[in-house]
């Protein structure tokens, strides 16, 4: 028995045999034909690889689709293709040329000072490896697990996870990789426990078929656990199973504290699939739809495509309100062709500032949103509003979009309610003025509010101790926002990650904030904490602000 420590990637505990996919030795040393023949072989392999990726996309959901689409598009990338072409022209075999170009591209991406782009390096390796395998005559098969297992690899390629048969892939343990890697993100979305960065010694020792305990709570794995460990894990798994069946009734239960105070629990989502999942878990609607995710694949959906996307989101929410945040691009959310390199992107042209600087993009989104508002209970809010000037400018763009739709005879809801994210201290400090300008609701984004209040970049681990989520300063800014909402009789919600923490969520409710928007997979945990919360007698409690736009 031996324990290895790693880094958290996706929640859960699992005990199962190891599955180590046999990666065939690549035949990079096979006979090399004339460059023209090698080029033709390469071109054919790229077509086949793209076909495989298209097939995989058909059964992928949400972010998985984006990753596969990125890989498909990469195989059309001019720079990559000409790099491969140059190696072939210089006498390399096609497989060796792709392998080499892929490694160079991936290394270059790993050096980029942008976490999102760095993530893409694994995708470059994944897509190029797919082409190499086709050239070798050993195209990537589906993961053939004969029993439910834990996948052990040096680094899991994102598309590998998607080929596992449902129910067979119980966990992922990687000797390399990082929490931020796409494979970790996909594991999280699919609810598969994962620990990464377990180190080369683990990779050496972990044999196919050996029993492994993977515990994402302690970020560790135990290889060949002894009887006592197996017994303890089995008991923990039993308790968890009991707890999850206990959670099942929670879905339908109304969200009320012990004394009967209602709390509106909404979900943070990025598209129809996770909206459907959140509604199935009992969410009262969508408190934050991060619309910018649709722009981060490198595609710019036109008005019609965006309109259909928003209408699909409304349908997925089954009549419950959907709050769409207009594009919040910039900082760690870069869209190629839109964001320019900046010295200090967190303080740069992001969120509504970028939209105001690019009225073409903003106008298209506003027209699509206004049209979708005719189809269901939509709300729209602007990110990174710094004060009334931004609000007025954004609403002037709304007026222009409405005028354009009127002249086209397009249907939209005249009274569509617009609100503002409160995620910059200046917005919290002037929340009263924002409400006086007609802001229809506030949504407090604590992720950014905390970073801007404490001048602690949320992407820099070295200043994490300054990133104080519930400091007195942050509490005061939230308190001012809530007071302004009460005075103006408009709703206010918290949609930052802090609301997904059951203890903090309960604390917010105690302080009189009764509308929270949380990450889908935290919904039931937060709800459970609220159902167990007892508020003091009514006369000694703060009066909550209004709970919904239409009340
Ligand atoms: C926030 O800042 O709290 C928020 C919800 O926005 P994002 O995390 O997308 O910046
Ligand atoms: Mg934010």
Catalytic residue among 269, 355, 367, 495: 495
Which domain-ending residue is among 79, 112, 136? 136
In a domain, 480, yes or no: yes
Same domain assignment for residues 130 and 152: no
In a domain, 536, yes or no: yes
In a domain, 371, yes or no: yes
CA 19 to chain centre: 27
User: Tens digits of per-residue pLDDT, 395-405?
Assistant: 999 999 999 99
Residue whose token pair is 């508020």: 535
Ligand 1 pocket, residues with Cβ under 6 angstroms: 288, 290, 328, 423, 445-448, 495-496
Check which CATH number belongs to the domain holding 155 and give it. Answer: 3.50.30.10
User: Tens digits of per-residue pLDDT, 64-114?
Assistant: 788 888 899 999 998 899 999 999 998 888 988 998 889 888 888 878 777
Helix, strand and coil in the chain, % to nearest 5? 50, 15, 35
Q: Chain-wide mean pLDDT for the chain?
A: 89
Check which CATH number belongs to the domain holding 264 and give it. Answer: 3.20.20.60
Q: Are 290 and 497 in contact (CB under 8 A)?
A: no
In a domain, 20, yes or no: no
Catalytic residue among 182, 255, 313, 454: 182
User: Tens digits of per-residue pLDDT, 432-454?
Assistant: 999 999 999 999 999 999 999 99
182 has a pLDDT exceeding 70: no
Same domain assignment for residues 123 and 153: no
232 has a pLDDT exceeding 60: yes
Same domain assignment for residues 470 and 331: yes
**Residues spanned by the domain of 448:** 250-540
Residue-by-residue DSSP string for 119-138: HHHHHHHHHHHHHHHHHTT-
Same domain assignment for residues 437 and 390: yes
DSSP reduced 3-state for 30 = coil
In a domain, 119, yes or no: yes
Give distance in angstroms: CA of 449 to centre of ligand 1. 8
182 is catalytic: yes
Residue-by-residue DSSP string for 442-489: EEE-HHHHHHHHTT--TT-GGGGGG--TT-HHHHHHHHHHHHHHHHHT
Report residue 300's pLDDT band, with 50, 70 and 90 as the boundaries.
Answer: confident
In a domain, 29, yes or no: no
Same domain assignment for residues 401 and 492: yes
Give distance in angstroms: CA of 403 to centre of ligand 2. 30
Measured CA distances, 498 to 468, 473, 487 (Å): 11, 15, 25
Report residue 159's pLDDT band, with 50, 70 and 90 as the boundaries.
Answer: low
Which domain-ending residue is among 226, 259, 276? 226
Report residue 209's pLDDT band, with 50, 70 and 90 as the boundaries.
Answer: very high
Lowest-confidence segment of 31-40, 88-97, 186-195, 535-544 by average pLDDT: 186-195
Which domain-ending residue is among 226, 242, 265? 226
Check which CATH number belongs to the domain holding 73 and give it. Answer: 1.10.274.10
Same domain assignment for residues 338 and 426: yes
Total count of domains within the chain: 3
Same domain assignment for residues 271 and 156: no
| Rounded-to-integer distance, Cα 49 and Cα 130, Å | 6
| Rounded-to-integer distance, Cα 244 and Cα 227, Å | 26
């Amino acid at each position: 028995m031996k324990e290895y420590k790693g880094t958290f990637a996706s929640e859960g505990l699992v005990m199962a045999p190891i599955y180590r996919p046999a990666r065939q030795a690549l035949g990079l040393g096979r006979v090399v034909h004339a460059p023209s023949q090698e080029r033709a072989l390469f071109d054919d392999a790229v077509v086949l690889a793209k076909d495989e990726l298209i097939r995989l996309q058909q059964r992928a959901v949400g972010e998985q689709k984006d990753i596969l689409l990125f890989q498909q598009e990469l195989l059309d990338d001019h720079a990559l293709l000409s790099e491969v072409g140059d190696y072939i022209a210089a006498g390399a075999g096609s497989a060796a040329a792709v392998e080499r170009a892929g490694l160079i591209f991936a290394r270059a991406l790993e050096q980029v000072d942008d976490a999102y782009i760095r993530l893409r390096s694994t995708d470059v390796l994944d897509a190029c490896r797919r082409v190499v395998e086709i050239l070798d005559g050993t195209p990537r098969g589906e993961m053939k697990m004969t029993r439910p297992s834990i996948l052990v690899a040096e680094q899991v390629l994102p598309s590998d996870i998607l080929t596992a048969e449902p129910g067979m892939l119980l966990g992922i343990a990687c000797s390399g990789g990082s929490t931020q890697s796409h494979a970790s993100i996909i594991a999280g979305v699919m609810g598969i426990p994962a620990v990464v960065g377990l180190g080369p010694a683990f990779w050496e020792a972990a044999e196919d078929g050996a029993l492994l305990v993977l515990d994402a709570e302690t970020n560790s794995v135990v290889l060949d656990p002894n009887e006592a460990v197996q017994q303890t894990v089995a008991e923990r798994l039993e308790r968890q199973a009991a707890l999850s069946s206990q959670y099942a009734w929670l879905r339908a239960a109304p969200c009320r504290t012990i004394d009967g105070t209602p709390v509106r629990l909404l979900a943070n989502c990025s598209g129809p699939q996770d909206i459907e999942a959140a509604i199935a878990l009992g969410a009262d609607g969508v408190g934050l739809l991060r619309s910018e995710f649709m722009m981060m694949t490198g595609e710019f959906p036109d008005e019609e495509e965006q309109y259909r996307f928003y209408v699909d989101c409304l349908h997925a929410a089954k009549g419950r309100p959907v709050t769409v945040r207009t594009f919040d691009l910039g900082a760690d959310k870069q869209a190629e062709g839109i964001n320019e390199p900046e010295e200090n992107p967190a303080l740069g042209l992001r969120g509504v500032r970028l939209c105001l600087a690019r009225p073409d993009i903003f106008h298209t989104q506003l027209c699509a949103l206004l049209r979708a508002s005719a189809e269901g209970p939509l709300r729209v809010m602007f990110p990174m509003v710094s004060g009334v000037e931004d609000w007025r400018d954004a609403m002037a763009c709304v007026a222009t979009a409405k005028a354009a739709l009127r002249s086209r005879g397009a249907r939209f809801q005249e009274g569509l309610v617009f609100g503002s994210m409160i995620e910059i201290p200046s917005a919290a400090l002037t929340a009263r003025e924002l409400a006086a300008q007609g802001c229809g609701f506030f949504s407090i984004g604590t992720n950014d509010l905390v970073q801007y209040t404490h001048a602690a970049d949320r992407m820099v681990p070295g200043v994490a101790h300054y990133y104080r989520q519930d400091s007195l300063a942050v509490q005061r800014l939230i308190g001012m926002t809530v007071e302004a909402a009460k005075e103006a009789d408009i709703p206010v919600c918290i949609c930052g990650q802090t609301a997904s923490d059951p203890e903090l969520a309960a604390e917010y409710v105690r302080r009189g904030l009764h509308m929270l928007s949380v990450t889908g997979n935290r919904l039931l945990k937060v709800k459970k904490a609220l159902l167990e919360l007892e508020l003091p007698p009514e006369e000694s409690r703060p009066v909550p602000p209004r709970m919904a736009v239409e009340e």
